[in-house]
Amino acid sequence: MNETRIGYHDDGSLTAELPPWRRWLVLTVLSVALLTVVMDLTVLNVALPSISADLRPSSTAQLWMVDAYSLVLAGLLVTMSALADRVGRKLMLISGFALFGLISLLVLFANSPGAVIALRALLGVGGAMIMPATLSMLRVVFTDLRERTLAIGIWAGVSASGAAVGPIVGGFLLEHFSWHAAFLVNVPPMVIAIVAALFLMPESRVAGVGGWDLLASLLSIAGMASLVWAIKEFGKKFVADGLANPAAWAALLVSFALLGWFVQRCRTREDPLLEVRLFLNRQFSAGVLAALFSMLAMGGCLLVLAQWLQLVEGHSPLQAGFRLLPFAGGAVITSVISRWLVDLLGARRVIALGLWLPAIGLLMMWLAPDPISYPWVVAAMVLQGAGAGSLAIASAMIMGGSPPDRAGNAAAMDETAYDIGNVLGVAVLGTIAAVAFSAKVGTDVPGADESLAGALEIAHATGSPELAATAITAFNDAVGKVGLAGAVILALAGALVYLLTPSSLDLDAGH
Note the pLDDT tens digit of each residue in 437-477.
777 777 676 767 666 767 777 887 787 888 888 888 888 88
Is the overall model pTM greater than 0.85, yes or no?
no
Query: pLDDT tens digits for 266-278?
Result: 888 877 777 778 7
Q: Minimal CA–CA distance to 123: which of 208, 185, 194? A: 185
- Full DSSP string of 181-202: HHHHTTHHHHHHHHHHHHHHPP
Angle, nearest 10°, between helix axes 20-39 and 89-106?
40
Is the dihedral angle over the CA atoms 214, 67, 493, 397 positive or is it negative? Answer: positive
Whole-number pLDDT of residue 36: 83
**Matching CATH number, 5-211+271-506, of 1.20.1250.20, 1.10.645.10, 1.10.3430.10, 3.20.20.190:** 1.20.1250.20
| Alpha carbon distances (Å) from 24 to 58, 142, 456 | 46, 9, 49
Q: Which residue has the higher pLDDT, 377 or 424?
A: 377
Whole-number pLDDT of residue 450: 64
| Alpha carbon distances (Å) from 32 to 122, 188, 193, 229, 340 | 20, 11, 8, 29, 24
Residue 105 burial class via C-beta count within 10 angstroms: exposed 0-12, middle 13-18, buried 19 and up: middle
Q: Lowest mean pLDDT: which of 19-23, 126-130, 451-455?
A: 451-455
3 state DSSP class of 133: helix
